[in-house]
Amino acid sequence: MKKKTPERLLLAHGSGGRLTHELVTGTFLPFLENPILSSLSDAAILPELPPGRPALTTDGFVVDPPVFAGGDLGYLSVCGTVNDLAVAGARPLWLTWALILEEGADGDLISTCAEGTARAAAEAGIQIVAGDTKVVPRGKGDRIYAVTAGLGVVPPGREISDTRIENGDVVIASGPLGDHGATIMATRHGLDTGELKSDCAPVSGLIESVFEAGIDIHSMHDPTRGGVLTVCNEVADRSGKRIVLTETSIPVRPQVRAVCEILGLEILGLACEGRVLSWVPGDQAERALEAFQKHPAGRDAAIFARVEGSIDGEVPVVMETEVGSTRPLDMLSGTDLPRIC
């Protein structure tokens, strides 16, 4: 299919007429082509679902800058949606992709995002089956926003839930934490990130390989906005059980530490877009860690926390520090901002 991308987005590209058709066929379909999407019908008619319980998720993507080291808004939009399904225990199958574009947005940016979307879809083994494009007047958007829905299936016999978490469970991080958040914040504030890039990636393949190894995962979450701090506090609240982190076991790259030290950010509050935190039974800890580490996306997986006791009357999430003390870990109160103090 011939690729043809406008130099700048016009309002007319969203009005449903010839320009919209050209945009879809010239910019999106060349990357995203598949039989369901290419039929361009009003609704995607899907094949029958595999056995199990259907899982449905939705997500919005507004990342700034829309292109960053290690990804772009398009790539991120697929990974984020796929990962939401995967950490719920579902096998992701089909995604929808709706765009809100800003009048005047650079056509190459849109094309880059479309390519990123296609790349992520191929990596995750899913199809984009429905899409939509709107263009808002200049100033009413921020170049490109994406909204997705993702459909998957939880195979029979699989149950992923915070209510399954038990005392003695350990928490495994699938890789070094905070790469995405650190990359974004560094880029926004004039730091040259060198080799550091976003960890944005689909984790569905990794998770399936751990299930295949026979590990009984109790619960999983992807630490996106608010990072590990938010996930752990929410999980402690929902499961009713305390989580104890071990500072020296938390996997973090030196570059991420450096970004946090320079800007004054909390490492554990940074977003990841290609990591999963998994709660597994204590007696499967070593086997589970091995299973993660065997997969290329889980090479640097590490056990960094344990579940211990009830939250009643206690601080729900604490960390055993490097220097030998124990301190509470709260969620961030707002967005973590660069500080001088």
Q: Which tokens belong to 275?
A: 């990591």
Helix (H) or strand (E) holding 112: helix 107-124
**Shortest separation between residue 193's beta carbon and other proteins, angstroms:** 6
Closer of 147 and 191 to other proteins (Cβ): 191
Closer of 4 and 140 to other proteins (Cβ): 140
Terminus-to-terminus CA distance in the chain, angstroms? Answer: 55
**Shortest separation between residue 181's beta carbon and other proteins, angstroms:** 14
Write out the DSSP string of 156-180. Answer: TT----GGG--TT-EEEESS-S-HH
Closer of 223 and 269 to other proteins (Cβ): 269
105-108 long-range contacts (CB < 8 A, ≥24 apart) are 105/8, 105/9, 105/143, 105/144, 106/7, 106/8, 106/9, 106/143, 107/5, 107/6, 107/7, 107/8, 107/9, 107/27, 108/5
**Shortest separation between residue 116's beta carbon and other proteins, angstroms:** 24
Closer of 60 and 338 to other proteins (Cβ): 338
The residues of the shown chain that bind other proteins, judged by CB under 8 A, are 186, 189-196, 254-255, 257-259, 261-264, 314-315, 318, 321-328, 330, 333-334, 337-341
Closer of 58 and 321 to other proteins (Cβ): 321
Closer of 152 and 316 to other proteins (Cβ): 316
Burial class (CB in 10 A: 0-12, 13-18, 19+), 93: buried
**Shortest separation between residue 261's beta carbon and other proteins, angstroms:** 5
**Shortest separation between residue 178's beta carbon and other proteins, angstroms:** 13
102 and 142 Cβ atoms separated by less than 8 Å: yes
**Shortest separation between residue 188's beta carbon and other proteins, angstroms:** 9
Q: Which tokens belong to 260?
A: 């946090």
- Give ∠ CA 99-103-104 in degrees, rounded to 5: 120
